[in-house]
Amino acid sequence: MEASAAPAAALLDEHARCTPVTWRVGDHDVDLRTKVGVRGHPGIDGALLALGEALRRGRARPPAPAGGAGANRVLRALDLTGAPAAMPLWAAAAGADADWTVALSSAAALVAAREALAAAGTPRTELVAALPWEVSGPYDWIVWRPPADRGVRRVRAELAAVAAALAPGGTALLVQHKDEGAQRCEREAGASFAEVETVARASGWRVSELRGPRPGPPVDPWVAFEPAGDAGAGGPVRAIAGAFAAEKLDPGTAVLLRALAARGPDEGTGEAAGSPRVLDLGCGTGLLARAALAAGAREVVAVDDDLAAVRSATAQLGGDGRAVVVHADLLRPVDPAQAPLLAAGGFDEVWCNPPFHVGRQVVGALSRAFVAAAHQALRPGGVAWFVVNRALPYERELATWGGHADVTPVGERAFTVWRAVRARRPVSGSRDARVRGR
């Protein structure tokens, strides 16, 4: 095993590990799971803490099923909190009988939710990878935590989806922080619901009940833009609002495309140069994957944790038989049948603009895991191309590779582009080839 493989494997094992975390709601200890990539990790998201306090104080509670409390029907409930199956696990602990659907867009959250539900043996819970407008109602109770970090357009699309999925006599809970636009969301909810009532406030968080959904047209979550003039970016882009760089070409991606367009013949991937198999790791809207196809890749696999990004990248790449898009927590796909697509050592090149946030929280472990995943995905002699914020210490993460070089385009000050090579054979140390920008 080469010197850098063991640290990479250890980092990926750590990334994959779920850890127990307890959500205390009154007298009930709700056993959840969390992991790197889940909002609030290593603890619990503040929205969930605020919701728990509202539940404890009786300010929020599930409604009776349609037809009255005595009706011979179990409540249908939808968990849109983004937390790993928090609501059905609370309901089981509190004795609140319901058939639950948990819709999650994050592959990491799906991993944690699956493990938490298995450990608890929670019955009557359907866990699905879905965006809010992809689930079918009617539901008697919907608990929704808007993704305010994804922008107003995305929140509006989800609000319309919640109204469409709620039964006429049902209740939706809205949980949001005042700094995330909670009051604006409540005001806009007034157009979709007959009643909007704030039932709890704590530490800036607001919990509101929405009742009496009004029929209305869905809000189109798709946006479009034209990344004209940027090397390799291609033509028009169609993406879901809130996916990474859904409304413009991300400046870091633009810098990486410039560096890739300027690479020399000695910076290819050996025998696969000119027709590599490329992994777009953390693909966002799929622009890097599209550029790889345009550059002559024989196959491109685009991977993202976020289902909105997966849907968006599919829109960019769906017409090309050389491309496939995978919903995955790094190299672990949600659909196990897709695991062979991400087998270790299966790629000649990795193109990556790695994330370092979950929501608005900086998560360094996530960035390190992306570098480790790129290393594992590459064959010996394969090349990874990373674009990173210049202030972040990625060079430290690349020091144990077979070699790495700074290939940032001349004049670029905000980002650094790294070209890193997985060693062809075992090495006792690291070879560090630093080359300042072109």
Per-residue pLDDT, 266: 66
Per-residue pLDDT, 144: 98
pTM of the model: 0.91
Domain of residue 383 covers 221-421
Task: Tell me if 7 is assigned to some domain.
Answer: no
Task: Tell me if 303 is assigned to some domain.
Answer: yes
Of 190, 213, 236, the domain-final residue = 213
Q: What is the dihedral of CA 105, 140, 185, 155, to 10 degrees?
A: 20
3 — pLDDT class (breaks 50, 70, 90): very low
Domain count, the chain: 2
DSSP assignment, residue 266?
G
pLDDT higher than 80, residue 269: no
Shared-domain flag, residues 314 and 370: yes
Shared-domain flag, residues 78 and 62: yes
Task: Tell me if 8 is assigned to some domain.
Answer: no
Task: Tell me if 428 is assigned to some domain.
Answer: no
Shared-domain flag, residues 36 and 97: yes
User: What separation in angstroms does the CA of 415 have from each of 51, 199, 292, 355, 399?
Assistant: 39, 45, 20, 13, 19
CATH number at residue 279: 3.40.50.150
273 — pLDDT class (breaks 50, 70, 90): low
Q: What is the dihedral of CA 88, 90, 92, 97, to 10 degrees?
A: -70
Per-residue pLDDT, 396: 82
Task: Tell me if 393 is assigned to some domain.
Answer: yes
Shared-domain flag, residues 287 and 375: yes
* Rounded CA separation 184/174 (Å): 12
Q: 20 or 396, which is more confident?
A: 20
1 — pLDDT class (breaks 50, 70, 90): very low
Helices (H), 298-388: 307-317, 364-377
Shared-domain flag, residues 150 and 234: no
Shared-domain flag, residues 328 and 242: yes
* Rounded CA separation 241/245 (Å): 9
Shared-domain flag, residues 205 and 63: yes
Task: Tell me if 2 is assigned to some domain.
Answer: no
Per-residue pLDDT reduced to its tens digit, 16-75: 999 999 999 999 999 999 999 899 999 999 999 999 999 999 999 999 876 555 556 789
Task: Tell me if 244 is assigned to some domain.
Answer: yes
User: What separation in angstroms does the CA of 312 have from each of 154, 305, 327, 386?
Assistant: 13, 12, 12, 21
Per-residue pLDDT reduced to its tens digit, 223-254: 999 886 666 777 889 999 999 988 899 999 99
Per-residue pLDDT, 231: 62
Shared-domain flag, residues 71 and 119: yes
Per-residue pLDDT, 7: 77
Task: Tell me if 435 is assigned to some domain.
Answer: no
The fraction of the chain above a pLDDT of 90, given in percent, is: 71
Shared-domain flag, residues 252 and 380: yes
Q: Summarize the confidence of residues 401-418 as an average pLDDT.
A: 93
Of 155, 186, 213, the domain-final residue = 213
Per-residue pLDDT reduced to its tens digit, 105-151: 999 999 999 999 999 987 789 999 999 999 998 999 999 999 998 99
Q: 409 or 271, which is more confident?
A: 409
**8 Å CB contact between 297 and 276:** yes
**8 Å CB contact between 157 and 223:** no
Lowest mean pLDDT among 43-52, 174-183, 272-281, 368-377: 272-281
Beta strands, E only, 94-244: 98-104, 125-129, 139-144, 166-177, 193-202, 205-213, 222-225, 237-240
Shared-domain flag, residues 133 and 246: no
Shared-domain flag, residues 29 and 149: yes
Shared-domain flag, residues 145 and 226: no
